[in-house]
Amino acid sequence: MKVDAYGTWHCGDRTTKVYTKPQTQQQKHSHNLAMKKPIYVTQPSLPPLEEFIPYLEKIWKSKILTNNGPFHKQLEEALCEYLDVEHVALFNNGTIALITALQALKIKGEVITTPYSFVATAHSLVWNNIEPVFVDIDPATCNLDPERIEEAITPRTTAILPVHCYGNPCNTERIQQIANTHGLKVIYDAAHAFGVKHKGESVLRHGDLSVLSFHATKVFNTFEGGAIICPNAEIKQRIDHLKNFGFADETTVMETGINGKMSEFNAALGLLQLKTIDNAIKRRRQTEARYRNALVNIPGITLLPDPADTIGNASYMPIMVNMEYPLSRDELYQKLKDAGINGRRYFHPLICDLPMYSKLVDENRTQLKSARTAAENIICLPIYPSLLNKQVDEVADLISSAEDSTGTTKTF
Ligand SMILES: *Cc1c(COP(=O)(O)O)cnc(C)c1O
């Protein structure tokens, strides 16, 4: 059994699917691929199991399982160093970290955010009784468009919650300028941005807080996990209380906290994962370059521009399927799927179109044209460190040899 991004369980093997006799060259190609193991949009990196055993032995010996244990402390220190940030507060997952970050800064009223993200971004607001106000994205980065933020500010606005989508850095300077002008806090959902450097420094050093996810599908995973990046010791202290029910010491409960603690098991795994993260990101970037090279000249396929002054983490491989392409985005998605290649339509549907949000959106106040275009046209292709060059080439070949509705095969 395999877990796909966001909890879709895949049982058995796709080869059990019965195929009718393939006819065109294209169908033969799909057929051949379908006989192989399916490829998913991502596959978690894991260390060799035997390397994890000594860590488990230490946990079994010490009987310290959680509550800021030795591995937890070590991982916080190691991540500060690796990410080049001042303070890290570890969490059991990214969503609880987001919810806690909003609590820590006492955010309320309305918060400006992007509809083009994973649902947890907006859910974290609603769990704090905050109203999300969705603002359109910049099509070049798929990030919140700073030029659209000010028109969405009302007297109830208290903060901005942007996402570094696909690890592309937000325009942090412009966002901070707007926040300063209007007295707003900025919390970055940096779930995609582990290790991303922008203009020579960590992209996590911006805003009031940044939130990471270490979920199985992310670049750096601890099975489940997350963190808040804090600029100073005071806010880290407050967050550490909040993630432990509000306890400041054995008997003092400072506030209504939650249980957001990362266990020793996850922290130990994180320490081990850190040893190979540079190679993992390097390999992802090679794969991204290979895809870019193979896909750049296919009519109707657009790649997002490589962000300027950025050392990215190649966490996702989004491509945009345009009108000139012989297939619609969903047809291409299906064609890949039939060949055992599972891309994902991140992020479709838009958060604001989900039933619990659709009644909130006032399209007159916030036109969401670019977000809609992205949600309708983007597919994220498989990318992960163990993906083979051969597999990347297979995916690219399938995309470049597209059949239109008349059944003729076009090879570009
Ligand atoms: C993964 C993700 C989250 C949630 O993180 P979890 O660790 O799965 O709770 C939040 N925001 C974005 C943009 C994500 O991709």
Q: Are 136 and 222 in a shared domain?
A: yes
Spacing, Cα 189 to ligand 1 middle (Å): 8
pLDDT of the residue at 36: 73
Q: Which residues are catalytic?
A: 218
287 and 386 in one domain? Answer: yes
Same structural domain, 210 and 323 = no
Q: How far apart are CA 263 and CA 72, in angstroms?
A: 7
Pair 146, 178: CB distance under 8 Å? yes
CA atoms 84, 86, 91, 95: torsion sign: negative
Range of the domain at 137: 49-274
Q: What pLDDT, on the 0 to 100 scale, is given for residue 12?
A: 33
| Domain end marker among 250, 274, 298 | 274
Do 270 and 281 sit in the same domain of this protein?
no
Which protein residue has the closest C-alpha to ligand 1 atom 6? Answer: 94
Q: What is the pLDDT of residue 358?
A: 86
Q: 5 CB less than 6 Å from ligand 1?
A: no
Decide: 121 in ligand 1 pocket, CB within 6 A. yes
Ligand 1 site, residue 117, Cβ cutoff 6 A: yes
CA distances from 266 to 45, 73, 366, 393 (A): 14, 12, 40, 35
User: What does the pLDDT profile of the chain (412 residues) look like in tens digits?
Assistant: 344 443 333 333 333 333 334 445 555 555 555 457 899 899 999 999 999 999 999 999 999 999 999 999 999 999 999 999 999 999 999 999 999 999 999 999 999 999 999 999 999 999 999 999 999 999 999 999 999 999 999 999 999 999 999 999 999 999 999 999 999 999 999 999 999 999 999 999 999 999 999 999 999 999 999 999 999 999 999 999 999 999 999 999 999 999 999 999 999 999 999 999 999 999 999 999 999 999 999 999 999 999 999 999 999 999 999 999 999 999 999 999 999 999 999 999 999 999 999 887 666 556 899 999 999 999 999 999 999 999 999 999 999 998 655 455 545 4
Ligand 1 centroid – CA 120 distance (Å)? 6
CA distance 101 to 97: 6
Residues 92 and 198 in one domain: yes
Domain CATH for 363: 3.90.1150.10
241 lines ligand 1 (CB under 6 A): no
Clarify whether residues 97 and 194 are in a common domain.
yes
Structure tokens at 18: 């019965």
Asked if 266 and 294 sit in the same domain, the reply is no
Q: Which residue is associated with the tokens 């704090």?
A: 128
Residues 56 and 185 in one domain: yes
175 lines ligand 1 (CB under 6 A): no
**Could you tell me the distance, in angstroms and rounded to a whole number, from the CA of residue 222 to the centre of ligand 1?**
13
* Ligand 1 atom index nearest CA of 94: 7
Number of domains in the chain: 2
Q: Is the pTM of this model over 0.85?
A: yes
Give me the pLDDT at residue 222, please.
98
pLDDT for the residue 213: 98
> What is the domain-level CATH number for residue 195?
3.40.640.10
Q: What pLDDT, on a 0 to 100 scale, did the predictor assign at position 403?
A: 64
90 Cα: distance to centroid of ligand 1 (angstroms)? 14
Question: pLDDT digits over 338-355, tens only?
Answer: 999 999 999 999 999 999
Query: Is 296 found in the same domain as 217?
Result: no
Same domain, 96 and 6: no
- Residue ending a domain, choose from 274, 291, 321: 274
Query: Which amino acid does the sequence have at 94?
Result: G
In this structure, the answer to whether residues 142 and 213 fall within a common structural domain is: yes
Q: Does 355 sit behind a cis peptide bond, omega within 30 degrees of 0 on the bond before it?
A: no
pLDDT value at position 8?
A: 36
Within this chain, do residues 238 and 100 fall inside the same structural domain, yes or no?
Answer: yes
Final residue in a domain of this structure, among 274, 304, 325: 274
